[in-house]
Amino acid sequence: MLKHRSLKWILAALGVCLMTGCGVAIKYSLSGASIPPDAKTFSVAYFPNNATMVSPILSSTLTDALVDIFTRRTRLTQVDEGGDFAFEGEITNYTSTTASVSSDDNALLNRLTITVKVRFTNALDEKMSFNKSFSAYEDYESTQLLTEVEGTLIPEIVDKLVTDIFQASASNW
């Protein structure tokens, strides 16, 4: 009986320790972010569109969305440059290709794909910095022109991209 009661206390203490993080200096939030307590600021440089095919709204949509996700999901304050979390990069690909073909070789769906190269600098922990590409896409009916649907597709694709960038930079999953 005494052994059983001691085991309960040990397990309870272990549970409390795990739930409080055992003093680990990482702060978790409901958004999935694990931002170090020392991080106070973030900066996002304008992402130019260096793809062969260019959409006039893409650069500003991507840049604004990246600022927005960090403003809404973290306690970090935006600064013009040199933030504790700093983002810069470029749009490297913006293409529309055939995604699905019928049995008689007619296009059924087209796919708009956007790729962005991101240079993320974590000023507090250089090991967490990265330089990598993120890509996302949306399909649309082949009966529609890209110019007809890109105003709807770009925000949807950008939402996927900034979510991936956010997870890669602000989460230790």
**Sign of the dihedral defined by the CA atoms of residues 19, 25, 27, 32, in that order:** negative
Question: What pLDDT, in 10s, does the model give residues 119-152?
Answer: 999 999 999 999 999 999 999 999 999 999 999 9
Question: What pLDDT, in 10s, does the model give residues 61-119?
Answer: 999 999 999 999 999 999 999 999 999 999 999 999 988 877 777 778 999 999 999 99
Helices 58-73, 146-170: crossing angle, 10 deg rounding = 40
Question: What pLDDT, in 10s, does the model give residues 16-75?
Answer: 444 444 443 333 444 456 788 889 999 999 999 999 999 999 999 999 999 999 999 999
Q: Which residue has the higher pLDDT, 79 or 173?
A: 79
Please give the Cα distance from 52 to 95 (Å, whole number). Answer: 8
Q: 140 with 153: CB under 8 angstroms?
A: yes
Query: Residue 23 region, left (φ>0) first, then alpha (ψ -120 to 50), else beta?
Result: left
Amino acid identity at 78: Q
Q: How confident is the model at residue 1 (pLDDT cuts 50, 70, 90)?
A: low
Tokens linked to 156: 């949807």
pTM above 0.85, yes or no: no
Strands (E) in 13-141, as ranges, are 27-28, 34-35, 41-44, 77-78, 85-101, 107-122, 130-141
Provide the 10 A C-beta neighbour count for residue 101.
12
